[in-house]
Amino acid sequence: MRKLLPAGIGILGGLMVFAPILVQSDLSFVLSKDRVEVAKERLRIATATYRGEDSNGRAFELRANSAVQASSRDPVVKLTGLAGKMALNHTIGHITANHGRYDMDAERVAIDGPMHYRSEDGYRLDTSNVDISLKDRTITSAGPVNGNISIGDFAADRLHANLPTRVVVLEGRARLHIVQGAKK
């Protein structure tokens, strides 16, 4: 045992020293770019939210049920299930739409189809095919518009609205029904 036990320890120690050299556990592989699956979109987000402030420090927020960017070179993000909120001078405005496109470079949202705007102080606007500038806080519609303001109801073929100044320009068959005694 005196000679056998130290010899066994020596052999075991030698195996431990030389085991990493004798046993190869490296795994190598070749990755072929032809066989790698490439994602169709650069960005896909469920329940996306974009927040910011305009040059006057007024906050805005745009939410979408989904957002898809085709590639990093394309600054346009396709949106579905849109809901926006904008702080205006004396109220907060809410916008909803089904489909749209957000251009990150221009800070613009193009709405494809119907869009509804409501403010907390009672203003209402319904239109379609709209261009919204988040930077300028303007709305331009290419479709018919109708809505109401504090003095009555209005309708036209299209509109251009400046949200901070509350100036709305109605174009094409513009009609305004003034309700006497309405709040000012």
Alpha-carbon Rg for the chain, nearest whole angstrom, is 32
- Digit-coded pLDDT (tens) for 24-80: 555 565 656 566 565 565 666 778 787 888 777 888 888 889 888 887 788 888 889
Q: Tell me what percent of the residues of the chain surpass a pLDDT of 70.
A: 81
Copy the structure tokens of residue 51.
Answer: 């927040």
> Cβ distance 146 to 155 under 8 Å?
yes
Single pTM value for the model: 0.64
The whole-number average pLDDT for the span 83-100 is: 87
Domains annotated for the chain, with CATH where assigned, are 43-178 (2.60.450.10)
- Residue that wins the pLDDT comparison between 182 and 88: 88
- Residue that wins the pLDDT comparison between 17 and 91: 91
Residue 149: pLDDT over 70: yes
In sequence order, the 6+-apart residues with CB closer than 8 A to the CB of 183 are: 150
Residue 166, Cβ density class (10 Å: 0-12 exposed, 13-18 middle, ≥19 buried): middle
pLDDT, mean over the chain:
81
pLDDT at 183: 61
pLDDT at 21: 62
The whole-number average pLDDT for the span 174-182 is: 82
- Digit-coded pLDDT (tens) for 111-138: 999 999 898 888 888 999 999 888 888 8
